[in-house]
Amino acid sequence: MSAAVEHRVLGRPAGPVRLLIVDDSEDDAFLVCAELTRRGMAVHHRRVDCDFDMAAALAAEPWDVVLSDHNMPGFSSLAALDVLKSSGLDLPFIIHSGEISDRQAVSAMYEGVDDFIAKGDYDRLLPVIERELRGLHARRAVRQADERIRELVNFDVLSALPNHNLFCTKVGDWIADAGAQAAGAVLVVDVDRFMRINASFGYDTGNVILRQLGERLAAGLAADVMLARLGSDRFGVFLPGVVEREQAEIAARWLLRAFEQPFMKNDIELFLTASVGIAMVGGDGADVFELLMNAEAAVARVKCQGGNGVRCYDRAMNAASAERLTLEAELRHAVERGELRLFYQPIVDPDGTVRAAEALVRWQHPEQGLLAPDRFIPLADETGLITEIGAWVLTEACYQGRCWHDAGHERFRVSVNVSAVQFGQPRLLETVREALRGSGFPPACLTLEITESSLMSDVESAAGMLRSLKNMGVRIAVDDFGTGYSSLSYLRRLPIDTVKIDKSFVRDVSNNGEDAAIVRAIIALAHSLGLGTVAEGVETAEQEATLRREGCDSFQGYRYGRPVPAEVFVMGTVPG
């Protein structure tokens, strides 16, 4: 319904009906407008009388109705109708003429004319225009709805980029059209650890960053390159015509430049990285779905290696992916089937007395045998199963600790690792509380080991969680210290008790001056802050001797014992 009709029918103010009059008589055009105005319809009009002027008018302004005389010198209503059809516009076309027979009028309507009215019959002209405007409004509403549906089906609402559906359709069509000559590359860009942004700053901030990232990725891409948001924090890129993997890798590394500059949140700099997987058309897949699947397999391999890199797909990844899916399905049942085992590795004092043990989980796989943590813990982290596994480990370790206390080792301590995923969940507090309450194990004898990188990813949140844990009475150790990007002076803001020196520094501490200096500095600074130290990965007498000279408080490693089940764990003093 046009603005004027809304005013007439609904009684609210609106603009005039825009009327394009095709007539060779200026007087007749003026009279039509005057009569319509007198009857309550505000009109804006323009008169044309040839095909050139009509085409120009249709291109220059938006119109609501075309009102055309039938016979004009060198022009006619049917010729005017052809001009309208050529323009591609959907506008009501009404013949307003005193020189047209009924047969001609009916024939014109078969050609697409909406109605015909004799000149001077203004009482009929007004309702016909209103009727046609209502029909025009209804058609436009349907088209707008269809367009909105098309946008929802094919475009991502957040970034306004093509979505997964449109990406697959366009790339699939391109591959089909190119046939055997098809050459190109599909890239999947997956933001590393993006959930930390949502968890720390909220989904609104995450959405803002994703929009900015879409703009950064799009900047500088050639017109024939397709960029899409595939979902969540994953983007897809199609590079047509790329033949060599080296070309695709160069393009992928260019995309990583979008992450070089920080994203801003309330004057806080947020640095992100991404993993990029590449699949080549033809060699790595015959259709877009296979190419995407294989590019994502390459992404997964990059993430397993720490992220922030580029990897091309190779066929060996498929076997690894299938094995991974099978392992994930089996891991989901490992706890309920009782397949997990806890092993304990001694932590000794300088006099060789075993004062504590670290609980380390193993998986007694029914077919593959005893699996070390590196075979399934990363998978548990990715799938969220680590929460359930971590709760089981904590409960079992506390019960075992209580058993040792009941056997006469009242002050013996047990250490349990807490994953980054667990540490980021408020549920951890309740899990620890339930494990201590259910087992009766003293909180002061439980040490929770949290990696340095987990603490540094969001220091303020980490400080709050650590304070809550300390209020329960448990001890806190920073695991793998030295491998992250913090310093002890920074960590003094956190309520911790112990620093565990990473084994990568201990390995060559007796023959590498740089590693020895790092270990010496860690121990000295830890003691200045009142923190204890534990050296991990001690295997030789030379390593132990160096660590003793530097004043390290405790030692852990194969020199004192490998991880073993509780029933064969030996208390007392280890041999020198």
Instruction: Give the pLDDT confidence of 487-538 residue by residue, as tens digits.
Output: 555 667 789 999 999 888 898 888 888 888 989 988 998 898 899 999 999 9
Confidence at residue 488, expressed as pLDDT on a 0 to 100 scale: 54
Burial of 90 (0-12, 13-18, 19+ CB in 10 A): exposed
| 3-class DSSP state of 41 | coil
Q: What is the pLDDT of residue 559?
A: 94
Domain ranges of the chain: 3-152, 164-314, 326-568
Q: How far apart are CA 197 and CA 17, in angstroms?
A: 52
How far apart, in whole angstroms, are the C-alpha atoms of residue 33 and residue 59?
22
Q: Tell me: domain 3-152, CATH 3.60.15.10, correct?
A: no
Distances (CA, A) of 128 to 100, 123, 218, 469: 18, 9, 50, 78
Whole-model pTM: value is: 0.54
326-568 has CATH 2.60.40.10 classification: no
- Determine contact, residues 121/129, Cβ cutoff 8 Å: no
**Contact between 159 and 227 (Cβ < 8 Å):** no
Q: How far is 474 from 439, CA to CA, in rounded Å?
A: 14
3-state secondary structure 223-287: CCCEEEEEECCEEEEEEECCCCHHHHHHHHHHHHHHHCCCEEECCEEECCCEEEEEEECCCCCCC
DSSP code at position 415: E
Q: What's the rounded Cα separation, in Å, for the pair 540 and 534?
A: 15
Euclidean distance between the first and final Cα of the chain, in Å? Answer: 95
Instruction: Give every residue of the chain whose pLDDT is below 50, as ranges.
Output: 1-13, 485
Overall fold of domain 164-314: Alpha-Beta Plaits (3.30.70)
Which of 526, 468, 535, 518 has its CA nearest to residue 492? 526
The strand pairing partners of 18, in sequence order, are 44
pLDDT of residue 95: 93
3-state secondary structure 174-227: HHHHHHHHCCEEEEEEEECCCHHHHHHHCHHHHHHHHHHHHHHHHCCCCCCCEE
